[in-house]
Amino acid sequence: MVKIADVRAILTQPGRARLTVVKVTTSEPGLFGLGCATFTQRAFAVQAAVERHLAPFLTGRDVDRIEEIWQMSMNHGYWRNGPVLNNAVSGVDQALWDIKGKRAGMPVYQLLGGRTREAAATYVHADGRDPQEVADRAVELTDQGFRHVRVQMGGYGGPADGLRLPPTVPSGNYFDPRRYGPAMLGMIDHLRSTVGDGIELLHDVHERLHPIDAVQFAKDLEQYRLFFLEDPFAPEDAGWFSTLRRQCATPLAMGELFNNPHEWRPLITGRLIDFVRMHVSQIGGITPARGVASFAAMFGIRTAWHGPDDTSPVGHAANLHLNMWAPNFGIQEWPQPSDLTYEMFPGLPRPVDGYLYTGDGPGLGIGIDEKLAAEHPCDETVEQWTQTRLPDGTPARP
C-alpha cells in the first residue's frame, strides 16, 4: 500500500492573485501529487487548514482511497461546507487524483471515463472604459481565434466615474446599481453590432444588481442572445431565479460563490439555470465536481467551471480533465496566464484557436517549479476591491 507521507501548502503569487497548491508526497520515493486549494482572499487560512488540521489527520493513509479520504476529511472538522476547509480538502483531493493517474500511467480524464471531446472551447475577458474600448479588445481576442468573449465595462459593477458620494463616505470600491443596467445594455448593443452574431458574448453581473433590476436587465438582454449571463443574483438571493426564469430566455450561469450542495441542488432540480459555474476547489475538488457534473447532466444543465486568475494552473488542469470527460461540458473560462505563470507551472496548456487541449501524460499533467514559486511569495496586503459600497456608503456584495 502506498501511503500519504506529507501534506503541505505551497503559496505563491506570480501575478495579481495569491495561489495555493497542495503537495501530497507519498511513501513511494518520487511519487507526489498536486492539487489546487486557491481561495485568494484567505490563502493563509487555507494554508493553516491544510498543514495544521488535514496533514496530521491524513499522514499514513492509503493514497488510493480518494472517496473515503474526501468523505472523512469533510466530516472530520464536524462543521463543513465552508470555503476555507473546502479549499483545503480540494488540494488533497486533486493531488490524490493526480497520484492515482501517475500510478495508473493515465491522465485523470481517463480515470473519470475517457474522452468525450477532442478539446474544451474557452472564453476570455474583454473590458474597457467605454463601449468602443471593449469592442476593440473583443476584436483583438476574436482575431486570436477565440469565439467566446466575456464583455464587461469599467470592471465589475461598471464605471465609477461621476458617482455623487456624500463627503464623509469611507474608502471603498463604489458602484451604482441603478446606472449599471443602462450602461451595460448600451455596451452590449455596441458589441453585438461590432462583432456580429458569429461571436458568443457573455456577461458577468457579479451579483451587483438589486434583484428586481437583475430581472429587468436579463429581459432587456434577450434580444442580444448572450451565450450566458452570469451571477445575476447573489447566492443569498437565489430565490429570485424562479421569478426570472418564468419571464426570460437569457441563458443563466451561477455557482462560483457556492460552497454547499444546498446552494446548487435546487437550481439544478428546478432547471433554473443553464450552466453550473462552481470554483472547483471551493466545493472540495474533483470528487464533488464529478458528482455535480453528472447530476446537472440529468437536468440538461452544462458545466462552465470557474477559471479566473485566482485559480491555480493545477486547478485549471483539474477543470480541463473534467471538461474532457463530462458529457455536459459547456464552456471553460480562461484567464490568459502570464509567461511567469507558465514558467512556474510546466504543463499548463496554451489555447489554440480558442480550444484547450490536454496532453496524454499521467495524472493532471501539471508540475510546479517550487524554487521559482518561493521567489514570488504571497503579499499580505488588505484586499481593497472586495470592500464594495453603494454611493451612500452602504456595504455591498462584491
Residues carrying an active site annotation? 156, 206
- Say if CB 91 and CB 69 are below 8 A apart: no
Q: How many residues bind ligand GCO (CB under 6 A)?
A: 8
Q: How many CA atoms lie within 13 A of 175 on its CB side?
A: 25
Q: Which residue is nearest to Mg ion (CB)?
A: 204
- Per-residue cell: 339: 509567461
- Per-residue cell: 77: 472538522
The 322-351 contact track toward ligand GCO, x by CB under 6 A, reads: -----------x------------------
> Which C-beta is closer to Mg ion: that of 240 or that of 342?
240
> Which C-beta is closer to ligand GCO: that of 73 or that of 332?
332
From 77, 266, 308, 361, residue interacting with ligand GCO (rule: CB under 6 A): 308
From 204, 207, 274, 309, residue interacting with Mg ion (rule: CB under 5 A): 204
From 310, 316, 319, 344, residue interacting with ligand GCO (rule: CB under 6 A): 310
Measuring CA to CA, how many Å separate 265 from each of 39, 101, 129, 366?
A: 23, 30, 37, 31
CA atoms of 287 and 290, how far apart (whole Å): 5
Nearest distance from residue 316's CB to ligand GCO, in Å?
12
Q: What is the DSSP string of 93-131?
A: HHHHHHHHHHHHTSBHHHHHT--SSS-EEEEEEE--SSH
Q: Quick one: what does residue 137 bind among Mg ion, ligand GCO, none, with the CB cut-off 5 to 8 Å set by partner type? A: none
Q: What is the DSSP letter of 316?
A: H
Q: Quick one: what does residue 200 bind among Mg ion, ligand GCO, none, with the CB cut-off 5 to 8 Å set by partner type? A: none
Rg (CA), the chain: 21
- Say if CB 21 and CB 87 are below 8 A apart: no
Nearest distance from residue 311's CB to Mg ion, in Å?
12
Q: Quick one: what does residue 40 bind among Mg ion, ligand GCO, none, with the CB cut-off 5 to 8 Å set by partner type? A: ligand GCO
- Say if CB 304 and CB 329 are below 8 A apart: no
Window 240-259: residues binding ligand GCO (CB under 6 A): 256
> Which C-beta is closer to Mg ion: that of 204 or that of 309?
204
Nearest distance from residue 230's CB to Mg ion, in Å?
5
The 364-383 contact track toward ligand GCO, x by CB under 6 A, reads: --------------------
Query: Which residues 6+ apart lie within 8 Å of 154 measured at CB?
Result: 127, 129, 160, 161, 183
Nearest distance from residue 272's CB to ligand GCO, in Å?
19
Q: What is the DSSP letter of 381?
A: P
Should residue 310 be labelled a site residue for Mg ion when binding is judged by CB under 5 A? no
Q: Which residue is nearest to ligand GCO (CB)?
A: 308
> Which C-beta is closer to ligand GCO: that of 155 or that of 393?
155
3-class SS of residue 342: helix
Nearest to 179 by CA among 195, 154, 158, 165: 158
Measuring CA to CA, how many Å separate 369 from each of 319, 350, 375, 377?
A: 21, 18, 10, 13
Should residue 266 be labelled a site residue for ligand GCO when binding is judged by CB under 6 A? no
Stretch that binds Mg ion, among 17-25, 122-130, 169-177, 198-206 (CB under 5 A): 198-206
From 61, 100, 206, 302, residue interacting with ligand GCO (rule: CB under 6 A): 206
Nearest distance from residue 16's CB to ligand GCO, in Å?
9
Should residue 207 be labelled a site residue for ligand GCO when binding is judged by CB under 6 A? no
Q: Is 76 exposed, middle or buried, given 0-12, 13-18 or 19+ CB atoms closer than 10 A?
A: middle
From 40, 303, 312, 323, residue interacting with ligand GCO (rule: CB under 6 A): 40
The 220-259 contact track toward Mg ion, x by CB under 5 A, reads: ------------------------------------x---
Q: How many CA atoms lie within 13 A of 52 on its CB side?
A: 8
Nearest to 316 by CA among 343, 352, 342: 342
Q: Which residues of the chain form contacts with ligand GCO (CB under 6 A)?
A: 40, 204, 206, 256, 306, 308, 310, 333
Q: Which residues of the chain form contacts with Mg ion (CB under 5 A)?
A: 204, 256
